[in-house]
Amino acid sequence: MGIETVGIVGTGQMGLGIAQLLAQQGIRTVAIKMTGGDVSGKYATVDKSLQKLVDREKLTAEQKEHILEALTITTDLHELRDCDLVIESIVEEMDRKQQLFHELEQITSETCLLASNTSTLGITELASAVQHRERLVGLHFFNPATVMKLVEIIPTLHTPNDTVERLHKWVEAIGKTPVVVKDETGFIVNRLLTPYMVDAIRAYERGLADAAAIDTAMKLGCNHPMGPLELADYIGLDIVYHMATNLYETFKEPRLAPPPLLRTLVIAEQLGRKSGLGFYDYSTRPATPRKL
């Protein structure tokens, strides 16, 4: 059976990015804004992102209209009833995700696959909240979802092989490259990337170099598109904090624990690019490195 209609729950940076990506692939996509209220701002975000592609002559105005027609953004979870796959991308809290999957199991048909885009939470633990655990897998996209080529597929001990094969083919069909990884905190990318960002924050705390120097060093020394502090700001410092905490709680290695400065920034609600302040100040163009 094909995957023709896909639901995305959560319209933050990742959820909306995945929704846009799927609509760009011609897939009927229903995105749910879980915080209620007006959805026009979400449509405007997608419109603006597509318009950039039109301006760069990567899309025609007609293609842009088709993409927008393929995408529905709503606050009503029941709109997911005809989906073949629903991908959850809400706040990184186990209880809220489990509650959501429990509701999704009631709303969707038994053949609909349920997936989580969690950064580090356990897929098996999420699946323990549903009756048919074989329906729930991890499908982990990367930010910005429209551009990044990788999707991690995380089966659990309950997942049938044919579901993994089906998702593998589907991920390729939407123009991405899948890797299959066991259900362990951080999967592959965040398991390796989080300690790297956390080490960079510690190096900054110790005064090894300023933020711009650390980022420039890794960009030019390793050919990375962004330096680690810039990337942490881009992902969101609250998310980096959660990832480091989850990794530390799982593996108990002191090096994985979130550094004090990261904690302070999160408490101060200086979460990186999305809140305008992080390791950089985004009120200027280009952003200005801060002295913290």
Q: Hey, which residues are catalytic here?
A: 119, 140, 152, 190
49 binds ligand 3HC (CB under 6 A): yes
Residue among 29, 143, 156, 185 that touches ligand 3HC (CB under 6 A): 143
Q: Pick the closer one to ligand 3HC by CB: 5 or 119.
A: 119
68 exposure class (CB count in 10 Å sphere: 0-12, 13-18, 19+): middle
156 binds ligand 3HC (CB under 6 A): no
> Whose Cβ is closer to ligand 3HC: residue 119's or residue 156's?
119
**235 contacts ligand 3HC (rule: CB under 6 A):** yes
Total number of residues that touch ligand 3HC (CB under 6 A): 19
**Measuring CA to CA, how many Å separate 208 from each of 203, 231, 281?**
5, 18, 20
Residue showing tokens 């991405």: 176
Task: Tell me which stretch binds ligand 3HC (CB under 6 A): 2-10, 52-60, 61-69, 265-273.
Answer: 52-60
Report how many helices (DSSP H) and strands (DSSP E) the chain contains, helices first. 11, 10
DSSP helix, strand, coil percent of the chain (3-state; round to 5): 50, 15, 35
Contacts of 257 (CB under 8 A, 6+ apart): 198, 244, 245, 248
* DSSP secondary structure letter of residue 121: S
Q: Which of 58, 132, 169, 255 binds ligand 3HC (CB under 6 A)?
A: 58
Residue-by-residue DSSP string for 235-251: H-HHHHHHHHHHHHHHH
Q: Does 222 help bind ligand 3HC (rule: CB under 6 A)? A: no
DSSP assignment string, 257-281? SPPHHHHHHHHTT--BGGGTBSSEE
**Contact status: 190 vs ligand 3HC (CB under 6 A):** yes
User: Which one among 174, 209, 226, 257 touches ligand 3HC, defined by CB under 6 A?
Assistant: 226
DSSP character string of 134-194 = GGEEEEE--SSTTT--EEEEE--TT--HHHHHHHHHHHHHTT-EEEE--SSTTTTHHHHHH
- Stretch of 94-102, 104-112, 142-150, 202-210 lying at the interface with ligand 3HC (CB under 6 A): 142-150
> DSSP secondary-structure letter at 75?
S
- Residue 290 DSSP label: P
User: Of the two residues 22 and 77, which places its CB atom closer to ligand 3HC in the complex?
Assistant: 22
Give least dist CB 58 to ligand 3HC, A: 5
Candidate segments 50-58, 74-82, 101-109, 151-159, binder of ligand 3HC by CB under 6 A: 50-58
Binding segment for ligand 3HC (CB under 6 A), chosen from 29-37, 139-147, 205-213, 282-290, is: 139-147
Stretch that binds ligand 3HC, among 33-41, 85-93, 164-172, 225-233 (CB under 6 A): 225-233
Pick the closer one to ligand 3HC by CB: 112 or 272: 272
Assess 78 for contact with ligand 3HC (CB under 6 A): no
Please tell me what DSSP assigns to residue 59. S
Residues that bind ligand 3HC (CB under 6 A): 24, 49, 53, 56, 58, 119, 142-144, 146-148, 190, 193, 225-226, 231, 235, 239
